[in-house]
Chain A
């Protein structure tokens, strides 16, 4: 490893290690965020303010905060979903969109004309009216246990929210929540890779050749994102591993792998 990338590595390791388990918005994000109701929100490109309020509140119940790891909102899952829906995925990338449209069996999967963006827009419109009708207030203003009960009814297909079956909307919301929580931070979620740190997934590393046969290795390393390649770090062999007593030592000084990242 040359001196420059080693110094960068040490800096990154120290910065990541210093982060608390439950993360708060960092200064850079705060600078571009606006403030609503005392909490910061990203600049939304797809959601209007009512939709954003629901998405922020609902995803926070799907993955709530505690000391184990970040919540959906702490991971910026709402920003991830907003970006997905405002881009190619939202407009139906890779979705076969020719009719005729017919209701199929469960085995036949999704058979509605909505793109993901249209599906969210329609369902969120229906949910706003449905929650107002039931509770005379917005979802975000409900108590957490009331929010959970409502989400469970969406999940079970028991709410009428317009043309989109409520269980289908719930399933889409949950899938995108997971994607935003565990996907690479370059897509706008998984802030500070805290969800990866929570489970111990190291991210975009390319090489565990020297570690794979060190069985029962206790491996701890700050995760790495696609966005960090500019530091020339992706191809480093992982270091800083520790082994429990009785196992072979994991000591391995980092070496650059792959000519393209050598400086």
Chain B
């Protein structure tokens, strides 16, 4: 079967730099731009073939978005195997649900939402949600991180990846979708299943926490006369 678009990952990296810079506004032009971009890249015939159960068309469809979906899943789950599992589950869900896809959102948005909800389910199922305060005899045994150099802990906390993982999943998803994947608040709201205002709130909170890490690590710019630039 001939596919109507090139199969392969979306352009890696640089997405944030390429986007327009109206992130602080609701219903940004980015929403319109992304929606139009997705629609133009995925031919309706391919989606139609995938809806009818054509495996080649479906795998081509998900392959097109795979790089972005993989980034979202990995930043949510933080584990390569869990990411692989979640993506497999999400893609199967999408395949099963595709005949019922009504096209009320862009197909890419719909796929992102499936990946997002699947990752949340994985987080729940792997016990990463708060557990009941169950204390067994093992609680009295030495913890694995006992005796660890506090400096290591501080260094770890300064790491962006660690700090990103420390965010609540909802905030993590919001900042990844908006700042890393370059989506607008409207589209991100559709993916997360929340209002745009909620997206803005989550992104703001996440940015505030993450910038604490980035800012001190930024080397001060030095002007030609040797003084620190403003």
A and B interact physically: no
